[in-house]
Amino acid sequence: MTVVINPTGEVPATPVEPLPTTTVGRVRKGLTNPVASAIALVIGVAWTIPTAGLLVQSFRSKTGQDTKGWWTFSDLTLDNYRRVTSGTGNVLPYVVNSIAIVIPAAIIPIVVAALASYALVWIDFRGRDWIYVAIFALQVVPLQVAVVPLLRFVVNGAHLGSMTVIPKLGLAGTVGAVWLAHACFALPLAVFLMHNFMSEIPRDLLEAARLDGAGHGQIFRQIMLPLLRPALAAFGIFQFLWVWNDLFVGLVMSGSNNAISPITVKIAGLVGSTAGQGGEVVPAAAFLSIVIPLAVFIALQRFFVRGLLAGSVKG
């Protein structure tokens, strides 16, 4: 437990770390054996080959794909990529949709969660522990339960009987519907992460500011936000990957409207519709869809791992 829910995000070891030179390292080394090395090799290779296969296949012509395996590296061409980035088969508009969805979907919940956590950690009021536990427990709600009613709300507004509680927001048929859903669903985990990070900030800092006459709003803006930067980065990447890779919310909230469908919805549609012919472009389209999260992931893996170890509870 001490490791997984590790509030400071102090990672015992990031994936990129120097080789062991300590006694500890040598002792451990002594305990590993050839069997372990073999296991590592098999798993490492088995985990890499599928993605490599897709990359190679995406550069091969239809004839090549139809007659030989990708490992022959035959019939290489850029044609597939040309077809998925221009003309009728262009998937780039869907990449744009994904970007337009992911920006608000990552920023909104983290700011809202930071505000909520501030109250839950630094302001004394009755029932605050209960509110925190309740928000954490809301992770129990599967997207399947929440997404259809949320779509109805976006389309119709909220009503109690015939009384309109909240009018419709005009977000129906826009990417707003998709990111609003993501922003809501991300909150329990975001509050949990921010709460953990915030609890680690020394109380003296806050009390000194209070004595100087600063209000809570001011303290949040000027002291908390700068200190929370690592937490914001960790959750930002987490949420970016989650939203970019999501299919379910995108599928339901966009309601098959191509104008607002994220790239995952497009790729899933391509897989289904090109079973007969035209399937040769699918590897290229799929690779385009995974290259952005992959790049973000590789560049910012350190932050991501920190977020993962601080609260590996997203479901």
Partner 1 sequence: MHWLYTLAHSQSTGGKLLFAVVMVILFLAVIGALLVLIDRTPRRGREKYQAFLFLLPALILLGLGLIGPIIRTAVSAMTSAEVTKKLCVPRPGHSCLVDKGGKWNNFDNFRWAFTDNDAQYALLHTLLWTLVAPIIATAVGLAYAYAIDKVRGEGFAKALVFLPTAISFVGAAVIWGLMYQQPSQNGASGLVNVVLHWVGLGPLNFPTVGGWRLTLMMIVVMIWIQAGFATVVLSAAIKGVPAEISEAAKIDGATAGQAFRRVVIPSIRPTLIVVLVTISIATLKIFDLVQTFGADKYRGDTLANLMYTTYKQAGLGIAGGKLGEHRSSALAIIIFLLVIPFVAFQVRQMVKQRAAR
What is d(CA 62, CA 311) in angstroms, rounded to the nearest whole number?
A: 45
What is d(CA 72, CA 56) in angstroms, rounded to the nearest whole number?
A: 9
Token pair belonging to 36: 């372990």
In the bound state with partner 1, the residue whose beta carbon lies nearer, of 3 and 204, is: 3
Residue 132 C-beta: closest distance to partner 1, Å: 9
In the bound state with partner 1, the residue whose beta carbon lies nearer, of 79 and 314, is: 314
Token pair belonging to 165: 């509680």
Task: Check: CB of residue 293 under 8 Å from CB of residue 240.
Answer: yes
In the bound state with partner 1, the residue whose beta carbon lies nearer, of 69 and 278, is: 69
Residue 230 C-beta: closest distance to partner 1, Å: 17
Residue 163 C-beta: closest distance to partner 1, Å: 15
Supply φ then ψ for residue 159, to 5 degrees.
-130, 145
Residue 144 C-beta: closest distance to partner 1, Å: 4
What is d(CA 8, CA 277) in angstroms, rounded to the nearest whole number?
A: 52
Supply φ then ψ for residue 160, to 5 degrees.
-115, 110
In the bound state with partner 1, the residue whose beta carbon lies nearer, of 119 and 227, is: 119
214 in helix, strand or coil? coil
What is d(CA 208, CA 220) in angstroms, rounded to the nearest whole number?
A: 14
Residue 81 C-beta: closest distance to partner 1, Å: 15
In the bound state with partner 1, the residue whose beta carbon lies nearer, of 79 and 296, is: 296
Residue at token pair 């088969």? 89
What is d(CA 106, CA 285) in angstroms, rounded to the nearest whole number?
A: 24
In the chain, the N- to C-terminal Cα span, in Å, equals 18
What is d(CA 47, CA 223) in angstroms, rounded to the nearest whole number?
A: 44
Residue 184 C-beta: closest distance to partner 1, Å: 2
In the bound state with partner 1, the residue whose beta carbon lies nearer, of 202 and 272, is: 272
Token pair belonging to 149: 């009613």
Residue 80 C-beta: closest distance to partner 1, Å: 13
What is d(CA 49, CA 45) in angstroms, rounded to the nearest whole number?
A: 6
What is d(CA 79, CA 256) in angstroms, rounded to the nearest whole number?
A: 28
Residue 78 C-beta: closest distance to partner 1, Å: 19
In the bound state with partner 1, the residue whose beta carbon lies nearer, of 123 and 163, is: 123
In the bound state with partner 1, the residue whose beta carbon lies nearer, of 76 and 294, is: 294
Q: Which of 101, 86, 83 is nearest to 259 (CA)?
A: 101
